[in-house]
């Protein structure tokens, strides 16, 4: 029974993550933004240390000028190659969360790794729970 409960909770969490991302993308509006910087940090992945990057842009929402950062860090720094500091381009921003933006290529319906992992773990626990319950364990 424990496995079934954990599996259902994990499945619900995965569905919530998918819903949250699709809701942010559905409500995102295009804005013209200017690249003002690149944030970087060092992370430990597996046995190595890597540097990850995310773009920081400035945009106008009505008469208010705001700053937003890319929704996640990426392992490559091609922002300067694609745009260059000070270049203007289109980004998508959910005005409810005005400090996070998506590039147009990120607007496709991709599922996040966390949501996929939660769904797979939930499915495993549900299957294991069904097996244990059916055997009377």
Give the global pTM. Answer: 0.68
Phi, psi (deg, nearest 5) at residue 82: -75, -40
Beta strands, E only, the chain:
28-45, 48-61, 64-70, 88-94, 100-102
> In the numeric block, which tokens belong to residue 123?
């499915």
Q: Which pLDDT score is estimated for 78? A: 62
pLDDT in tens, 37-48: 888 888 887 778
Q: What's the pLDDT tens digit per position in 82-133?
A: 777 788 888 888 888 878 888 877 777 666 778 888 889 999 998 888 888 8
Please state the rounded mean pLDDT for residues 74-89.
Answer: 73
Predicted confidence (pLDDT) at residue 32 exceeds the cutoff of 70: yes
């Amino acid at each position: 029974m424990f496995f079934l409960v954990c599996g259902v909770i994990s499945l619900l969490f995965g569905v919530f993550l998918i819903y949250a991302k699709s809701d942010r993308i559905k409500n995102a509006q295009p804005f013209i933004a200017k690249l003002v910087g690149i944030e970087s940090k060092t992370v430990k992945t597996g046995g190595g240390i890597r540097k990850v990057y995310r773009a920081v842009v400035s945009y106008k929402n009505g008469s208010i000028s705001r700053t937003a950062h890319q929704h996640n860090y990426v392992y490559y720094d091609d922002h300067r190659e694609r745009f260059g500091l000070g270049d203007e381009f289109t980004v998508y921003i959910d005005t409810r969360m005005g400090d996070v933006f998506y590039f147009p290529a990120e607007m496709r319906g991709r599922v996040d790794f966390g949501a996929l992992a939660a769904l797979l773990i939930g499915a495993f626990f549900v299957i294991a729970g069904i097996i244990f319950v059916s055997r009377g364990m």
